[in-house]
Chain A
Amino acid sequence: MHELSLSEEIVRTAISASRTDKSRIAAVGVRVGALSAANVSSLEFCLRLVLDQHGMQHTEARVTPVPAQVECACGHCYQTEDMFGACPACGGYVREVTEGKDVTIEYVEVEDEEG
């Protein structure tokens, strides 16, 4: 529901962190965790909208979904789509989510300067 504000933050960060003119930003890479409370297709839609608003029609938005990664109390680390399933190694349910809660701005691709 808040993908538009996330997109504005992503584009703002991409522009400031790339330390270059926005006309040279060819792509923005974003990872969306399965437990991040953000929706991938909605974020793609909103990112396109915000990039276009910034006059960045040339910039590609690459949104990659990231599955949840958990670490069980038994030490086993595994990916899962089901937060209510048992650990495949020990059958237990005591675990920590180690990845998949965040939306992260992974990288920007910047065109080489001409000349």
Chain B
Amino acid sequence: MKRVDLRRSVQESNDAVAARNRELFARKGIYVMNLIGSPGCGKTSILEYTARHFDGRFAAIIGDVKTTLDAERIAACGVEARAIETGGGCHLNAAQIALVIRKLPLADLDFLFIENVGNLVCPSAFDLGENIKVAVLSVPEGDEKVRKYPDLFVRADVVFINKTDLLEHCAYDIERVRGDAAKARPGVRVFATSASAGAGFEPWFDFLRETRERAIAGSQ
């Protein structure tokens, strides 16, 4: 019997496509974010608010199991939006992104938001070629989500705590969530927002401007 050592990541083929996506985004100067959160946490609402109030050129790719409803919501804000219907798939992969970005006006973009399928598990394992992973939580989900889904939060560069307008109705320890997020990923940026009330977005907009400039300067 002969043992052949391989030591290859099962993500190798996805990672290769993700690297090509990343290279293309860097060449075009597009800062890319992969939004991951539960169904109903407010990923699309955060994008809608950002589309309406942030002064930047951006497009969105929206993954859902079924329907193009969320992409239509984003398009209604005057932003180029494309839907990926996974037909049951629990996450987006790099090849799906590679196909869709061919149809986007890349030369006219500064930012690309990729809204992943609503799921806190699988999307965290698949690199799409993004600059950062953005985890989205919301107050009614409860304050233990970071501890329950460490696979995502050890990878998340940014965490949203959305629906802060509901804090007065929920037993939710926001400082606990901030603390857990910082333990899972030291240096993580946390934004507490209410997309429906339009609260807490200014620090997020500052972050978008600053990190994109840094990323572009770094790649030149």
B9 touches A107 (CB 8 A): no
In Å, the complex CA distance between A112 and B3 comes to: 10
Are A17 and B125 in contact (CB-based, < 8 A)? Answer: no
**A110 contacts which chain B residues (CB < 8 A)?**
1-4
Shortest CB distance A10–B (Å): 6
- Produce 1/0 per residue, B90-123, CB < 8 A to A: 1100000000000000000000000000010110
Residues of chain A having any CB pair with chain B under 8 Å: 1-2, 6, 9-10, 13-14, 17-18, 26, 30, 35-38, 73, 83-84, 93-95, 97, 101-112
User: Residues 6-39 of chain B: 1 if any A CB is under 8 Å from the residue's CB, otherwise 0?
Assistant: 1111111100000000000000000000000000
Query: Taking A84-B180, A102-B10, A107-B5 as contacts, is the C-beta distance between A2 and B90 under 8 angstroms?
Result: yes
Sample (23) of A-B pairs whose CB atoms are under 8 Å apart: A1-B90, A1-B122, A2-B90, A2-B91, A2-B125, A9-B13, A18-B4, A36-B151, A37-B121, A37-B125, A37-B151, A73-B186, A83-B153, A84-B184, A93-B183, A93-B186, A94-B186, A102-B11, A103-B9, A104-B8, A108-B6, A109-B1, A112-B2
> Assuming the A-B contacts A109-B3, A112-B2, are A95 and B11 also in contact, with contact meaning beta carbons closer than 8 angstroms in the complex?
no
Does B150 interact with chain A (Cβ within 8 Å)? yes
- CA distance in complex: A109, B2 (Å): 6
Does B147 belong to the interface (CB within 8 Å)? yes
A50 CB, min distance to chain B CBs, angstroms: 12
Known contacts A26-B1, A84-B147; is-contact A13 B154 (Cβ 8 Å): no
B124 at the interface (CB under 8 A from A): yes
Contacts of A103 in B (CB 8 A): 9-11, 125
Cα distance A107–B2 in the bound complex, in angstroms? 10
B79 neighbours in A (Cβ, 8 Å): none
Instruction: Name which residue of chain A comes closest to B4, CB basis.
Output: A108
Inter-chain residue pair count (beta carbon < 8 A): 95
Closest to A92 in B: B186
- B182 interfacial by beta-carbon distance below 8 Å: yes
Inter-chain CA distance A84–B144, complex, in Å, is 12
CB-CB under 8 A for A38 and B13, given A2-B90, A17-B6:
no
Complexed CA–CA distance, A83 and B186 (Å): 11
6 closest cross-chain pairs (CB), A and B:
A37-B125, A103-B10, A94-B186, A37-B151, A1-B90, A83-B150
Q: Chain A's nearest CB lies how many Å from the CB of B85? A: 17
A13 lies within 8 A of B184 (CB): no
Q: Which chain B residue shows the least CB distance to A18?
A: B4
Query: CB-nearest residue of chain A relative to B182?
Result: A93
Tell whether A97 pairs with B8 under 8 Å between CB atoms, given A9-B13, A83-B184, A84-B147. no
Contacts of A109 in B (CB 8 A): 1-4
B8: A residues at CB distance < 8 A: 13, 17, 104-105
| Least distance between B92 CB and chain A CB atoms (Å) | 11
Expressed in whole angstroms, the minimum distance between the Cβ of A83 and any Cβ of chain B is: 4
Report A-chain residues with C-beta under 8 Å of the C-beta of B5. 106-107
Contacts of B124 in A (CB 8 A): 37
